[in-house]
Structure 1
Amino acid sequence: MKEGKPKNIFIKGAITASFIAESIEKHSVKKNIGGHSIFLGQVRADEINGKKVSAIEYTAYEEMAMQKMHEIREAVFEQYELTCMHVYHSLGKVAAGEICLFVFTSSAHRKAAIAACSELVERIKAELPVWGAELFEDNTHQWKVNQ
């Protein structure tokens, strides 16, 4: 496992389409990449007990989350032949329809990129100390058990 400093994966507010596009564009100079896999998590306007979700307010134990993400990152790099891996998660208020999670993996071959991306998403959801409060149109809220 490579030693290194945990990267800050958090972005205040929604992850914009321009941020995602710029991330993809930066990889065009890497000629050894043959496949990318991208997961975009979007806030849903669910209806819960007759109330519609208008946004989610994300909070995290940031230092612990960054350390855990570093451990996950290193484990996934050991398991798959990846060229690049990028993970970004929103903090703060993200409206329904906006992006709150961006996972981007790259490899010489598509299968490794796709498998690694899928594993990353599942591990992020299961292991990172990130929480969301569903905010409803009537200005009430409820905490979500899973992010």
Structure 2
Amino acid sequence: MKNKKPKKVFMNGAIPPEKIANSIANHQSKTSIGAHSIFLGQIRADEIEGKTVQAIGYSAYEEMAEKVFHEIREAAFSKFDMTCAHIYHSLGTVKTGEICLFVFTSSAHRKIAIEACNWLVEEIKAKVPVFGKEILEDETHQWKVNK
């Protein structure tokens, strides 16, 4: 899997449930896979100073961010004995309750799939230059801080 062509990570708006379902279905023919692990990041309706978050507007310097996503994905293949790894992240406005990050790993055994998925999520949160602006109920905005 090393030195593969970078895959497109960004999607406009929320990641639709059909994308997730199709990703799972597309792996049924890969009979060397014994486990999948999936992380779904969903927008929360946090309360900030008495105002509720209605959405997050995501932006990124796409070329740079796609490069970092690719480097992280390739590092995961070096670190873990995975069969597949897929990453999708939203750009634009994603409403509360909708999915903004989808990380999907596959391997022969569950422990590797789970560890790889968790590692990928932590690396993405720490290193990828994606920025989120929380859109509050009164339509004011503030930069989101990753926790």
Deviations 1:16-36 (A, max 9, x none): 111100110000010000000
Task: Give the AA of the match of 2:37.
Answer: S
Three-state SS of the structure 1 residue aligned to 2:15 is coil
Offset, 1:116: 0.2
Structure 1 residue matching 2:11: 3-state secondary structure = strand
User: Which residue of structure 2 aligns with residue 141 of structure 1?
Assistant: 141
* Structure 2: gaps of 5 or more residues: none
Match status 1:120 vs 2:120: yes
Q: After TM superposition, where is structure 1 displaced by more than 6 Å over at least 4 residues in a row?
A: none
- Residue 50 in structure 1 maps to residue 66 in structure 2: no
CA distance in 2: counterparts of 1:30 and 1:3, whole angstroms: 21
Letter in 1 for 2:39: F
Equivalent residue letter for 1:120? L
SS in 2 for 1:145: coil
Deviation at 1:4, TM superposition (A): 3.5
2:71 maps to amino acid? E
Superposed counterparts of 1:56-71, under 5 Å: 56-71=56-71
Equivalent residue, structure 1, for 2:8: 8
Structure 2 counterpart of 1:130: 130
What SS class does the counterpart of residue 7 from structure 1 fall into? coil
Aligned partners of 1:4 and 1:61: how far apart in 2?
A: 22
For normalisation by structure 1, the TM-score amounts to 0.96
Q: How far does the alpha carbon of each residue in 1:89-145 deviate from its partner, in whole angstroms, 9 at most, with x for none?
A: 000000000000000000000111000000000000000000000001111110113
Which has the higher mean CA deviation after the structures are superposed, 62-71 or 32-41?
Answer: 62-71
2:111 matched to which residue of 1? Answer: 111
CA distance in 1, matches of 2:115, 2:46: 29
Question: In the TM superposition, what is the alpha-carbon distance from 1:6 to its structure 2 partner?
Answer: 1.9
Q: Determine the C-alpha separation between the residues in 2 that align with 1:20 and 1:3.
A: 25
Partner of 1:25: 25
Q: TM-score, normalised by structure 2?
A: 0.96
Alpha carbons 1:132, 1:146 under 8 Å: kept: no
Which structure 1 segments of 5+ residues have no match? none
SS at match of 1:27: coil
> What is the count of residue pairs matched by the alignment?
147
Secondary structure of 1:71's counterpart equals: helix
Q: Letter of the 2:84 partner, please give it.
A: C
Would the aligned equivalents of 2:2 and 2:77 in 1 still touch at CA under 8 Å? no
Residue 78 of structure 1 aligns to a residue in which SS? helix
CA shift for structure 1 position 2: 2.4
